Amino acid sequence: MDKSINLDHMNRKDFLSLAGLGMGGALLSQLPLMGAPVPPGKPFETVDTALKKQLADIALNAARSKGATYTDVRIGRYRNQFIITREDKVLNTVDTESYGIGIRVIANGCWGFAATDKLDHDGIAQAAELAVSIARENARLLTEPVQLAPQKGYGEVSWKTPIVKNAFEVPIKEKAELLLAANSEAMKTGASFVDSALFLVNEQKYFASSDGSYIDQDVHRIWPTFTVTKIEKTSGKFQTRDALSAPMGLGYEYLIPDEKKKIKTVTTLYRDRYDILEDARLAGAEVGQKQAAKSVEPGKYDLVLDPTNLFLTIHESTGHPTELDRVLGYEANFAGTSFLTLDKWKSGKFNYGSKLVNIVADKTQPGSLGAVGYDDEGVATKEWDIIKEGTLVNYQAIRDQAHIVGLSESQGCCYSQSWRDVQFQRMANISLRPGKTPLIPNDLIKNVEKGIYIIGNGSYSIDQQRYNFQFSGQLFYEIKNGKIVGMLKDVAYQANTQEFWNSCTAICDQSDYRLGGSFFDGKGQPMQVSAVSHGSSTTRFNGINVINTARKI
């Protein structure tokens, strides 16, 4: 995933003046920047599906009359809400909304796309015509025509994220006060500064295609997060500790704590329900412990990775290299290609990881960021294996790639971040299946002689073919002879993807399985973001290289 964000209308600076300044860098760099602000607390002004069908039909008819052999139309209303606070201040509340239409066609065997926010008859018809003319113009640059895997039309269908409580309908004041209360908890236990934010996403997406689908979807996502900072006045040194929450495909129920869904190790970890007050309280104390922690001795350690850390390693080292567009070279100029080349998959015996490693792709898992009913080219979503007992068995494909890997249909991986951008192959939720034998984190740690238990995600970087990576974290605990003996700092682990997954020796069971994720998986040109989750249980990796990141300037 990448930090840079598509800004479209606003430049970054303009946006920040809207979203409110004073956030810590860690939060700032992660703002979801789509759409324009609108007021919060208003009832949804949803456009009824009959009207959307009429608008879509204008585009479908116009494109067909200009010679398109395939057309899909996406009419989207994308809503975000941000509440941004620091310490005892609410810096800003912003509601953004963006409404428009994106029309994609095939003409002369070539893709074309045009988008507009002029949603009258002429605006839509002109955009459809423009998409066809772009396709015709570019057809001379093809080596072979686009081959689209067949897809049946579903008629008029709909899908909604199964939320319990719509977070947009919770009063602004109540949400702001929860963040302020969390800030106060962190300050009480020793933080010097706290930046916190709540991000809400609602995508109202209407899809229609010349295959005969009219699909209405209502997608909800939520992400509460914070960064606490502690400054030691005399030395001028500072440390931070981020929230251990995850962005989720849930409603406001995510913010209603549930004792039964907490996992207690050396700190508290959260499964499907989050307790922001408790996490902030712990963060204020833990950032102080981090200040006083021992700087890590570089060398080889057995790593015990909590899902709050491992999800990102899965994302970068399994999710990305199994994206078929990268494998084929479509991302060579930006996001990169992949070491998991077609010959490795065809051999049927490429040893990606140890026998314990089973990795699944899925677009249906409840609570995940990726969960939707249909993708953005009208394909119903599903689940399939990527790595089976350590062997590479499949990729993630869309309609115009399916034939390349011998699939008769798409795997439903085609998405766009908004109506403005063309849809393309995006990562499904890619998750590590839990271990089959009962094992909880505290028992896993008991077997480790010399290790580090890592919680939370920190710095992350991987090469463009996904071999060499470096990850950090939020909390690092030294393990000696089966016991946690104290906190460490300045820790990052560097490894090669294949070696890393082959060093996997233990995976905790289903009871420890949790989702991590990001709103901001970046790919494509112009770059688009995509929301994706990764499930895992606490997992052990033997003999991984750990470096010390402390420097002097």
Partner 1 sequence: MAILTQDEARTLLQKVLAFSKADECQAQISGREGGNIRYARNAVSTSGQLSSTQLVVTSSFGKKQGISTINEYDDASLAKVVRRSEDLARLAPENPEYMPFVGPQSYQPAATTFIPATANINSKLRADLTEQSLKIAKEAKVTAAGFLENTAGFSAMLNSHGLFAYNTATDVNFSVTLRTDDGTGSGYASRGYNDVSLLDVQKSTQVAAWKAAKSVEAKAIEPGKYTVILEPAAGIVLMENLYGALDARSADEGRSFLSLPGGKTRLGEKLVDEQVTIYSDPWHEKLPTRNYDGEGLPQIKRTWIEKGVVKNLFYSRYWAQKKGVQPIPYPDGFVMSGGNLSLEDMIKGTEKGILVTRLWYIRSVDPQTLLYTGLTRDGTFYIENGQIKFPIKNFRFNESPIIMLNNLEQLGYPERTISGESNSAALIPPMKIRDFTFTSLSDAV
Residues in 89-118 at the binding interface with partner 1, rule: CB under 8 A = 89-97, 99-100, 110-118
Which residue in the set 36, 157, 277, 405 belongs to the binding site for partner 1 (CB under 8 A)? 36
Which residue, 108 or 267, has its beta carbon nearer to partner 1? 108
Least Å distance between CB 26 and partner 1? 8
Q: What is the DSSP letter of 316?
A: I
Assess 24 for contact with partner 1 (CB under 8 A): yes
Site for partner 1 in 265-324 (CB under 8 A): none
Assess 140 for contact with partner 1 (CB under 8 A): yes
Q: Work out the angle at residue 224's Cα, subtended by the Cα atoms of residues 524 and 19, and round it to the nearest 5 degrees.
A: 70
Q: Is the dihedral of CA 136, 141, 145, 151 positive or negative?
A: negative
Contact in structure between 206 and 265 (CB atoms under 8 Å): no
Tokens describing residue 29: 């760099």
Which residue, 153 or 190, has its beta carbon nearer to partner 1? 190
Which residue in the set 48, 50, 155, 234 belongs to the binding site for partner 1 (CB under 8 A)? 234
Give the integer Cα–Cα distance in Å for 336 and 320: 9
Which residue, 378 or 435, has its beta carbon nearer to partner 1? 378
Give the integer Cα–Cα distance in Å for 93 and 179: 12
Which residue in the set 166, 184, 272, 334 belongs to the binding site for partner 1 (CB under 8 A)? 334
Assess 122 for contact with partner 1 (CB under 8 A): no
Give the integer Cα–Cα distance in Å for 166 and 387: 36
Site for partner 1 in 156-215 (CB under 8 A): 172-173, 176, 192-193
Which residue in the set 131, 263, 392, 484 belongs to the binding site for partner 1 (CB under 8 A)? 131
Backbone angles phi, psi at 37, to 5 degrees: -70, 145
Site for partner 1 in 40-59 (CB under 8 A): 40-42
Which ranges of 84-225 would DSSP assign to H, the alpha helix?
Answer: 121-138, 172-188
Which residue, 67 or 526, has its beta carbon nearer to partner 1? 526
Paired sense of beta strands 475-480 and 450-455, if any: antiparallel
Assess 70 for contact with partner 1 (CB under 8 A): no
Least Å distance between CB 212 and partner 1? 24
Site for partner 1 in 347-376 (CB under 8 A): none
Least Å distance between CB 245 and partner 1? 20
Neighbours of 252 (CB within 10 A): 22
Which residue in the set 466, 523, 534, 540 belongs to the binding site for partner 1 (CB under 8 A)? 466
Assess 342 for contact with partner 1 (CB under 8 A): no
**Taking Cα atoms as reference points, which of 418, 431, 447 lies closest to residue 524?**
418
For helices 121-138 and 49-65, the axis angle rounded to 10 degrees is: 40
State the first-to-last Cα distance of the chain, in angstroms, to the nearest integer: 29
Which residue, 329 or 482, has its beta carbon nearer to partner 1? 329
Which residue, 177 or 389, has its beta carbon nearer to partner 1? 177
Which residue, 344 or 382, has its beta carbon nearer to partner 1? 344
Assess 237 for contact with partner 1 (CB under 8 A): yes
What are 518's strand-pairing partners? 532
Assess 549 for contact with partner 1 (CB under 8 A): yes
Which residue, 257 or 543, has its beta carbon nearer to partner 1? 543
Residue with tokens 């065809």: 346
Which residue, 330 or 519, has its beta carbon nearer to partner 1? 330
Least Å distance between CB 506 and partner 1? 26
Tell me which stretch binds partner 1 (CB under 8 A): 356-364, 370-378, 464-472, 510-518.
464-472
Which residue, 176 or 407, has its beta carbon nearer to partner 1? 176
Give the integer Cα–Cα distance in Å for 433 and 422: 32
Query: What proportions of the chain, in percent to the nearest 5, are helix, strand and coil?
Result: 25, 35, 40
Assess 464 for contact with partner 1 (CB under 8 A): yes
Least Å distance between CB 452 and partner 1? 16
Give the integer Cα–Cα distance in Å for 159 and 368: 15
Backbone angles phi, psi at 423, to 5 degrees: -75, 145
**Taking Cα atoms as reference points, which of 275, 277, 234, 195 lies closest to residue 20?**
195
Backbone angles phi, psi at 185, to 5 degrees: -60, -45
Which residue in the set 189, 268, 447, 465 belongs to the binding site for partner 1 (CB under 8 A)? 465
526 prior amide bond cis, ω within 30: yes
Give the integer Cα–Cα distance in Å for 501 and 462: 15
CA atoms within 13 A on the CB side of 368: 26
Least Å distance between CB 170 and partner 1? 13
Q: What is the DSSP string of 489-550?
A: ESEEEEEEHHHHHHTEEEE-BGGG-EEEEEEEEEETTTTEEEEEEEEE--EEEEEEEEEE--
Assess 341 for contact with partner 1 (CB under 8 A): yes
Total of chain residues touching partner 1, rule CB under 8 A:
111
Window 407-426: contact mask with partner 1 (x via CB under 8 A) = -------------xxx-x--
Least Å distance between CB 427 and partner 1? 16
Which residue, 95 or 216, has its beta carbon nearer to partner 1? 95
Assess 235 for contact with partner 1 (CB under 8 A): yes
Tell me which stretch binds partner 1 (CB under 8 A): 154-162, 183-191, 231-239, 387-395.
231-239
Window 493-512: contact mask with partner 1 (x via CB under 8 A) = -x-x----------------
Paired sense of beta strands 299-305 and 450-455, if any: parallel
Which residue in the set 54, 459, 481, 511 belongs to the binding site for partner 1 (CB under 8 A)? 459
Which residue in the set 467, 509, 542, 543 belongs to the binding site for partner 1 (CB under 8 A)? 467
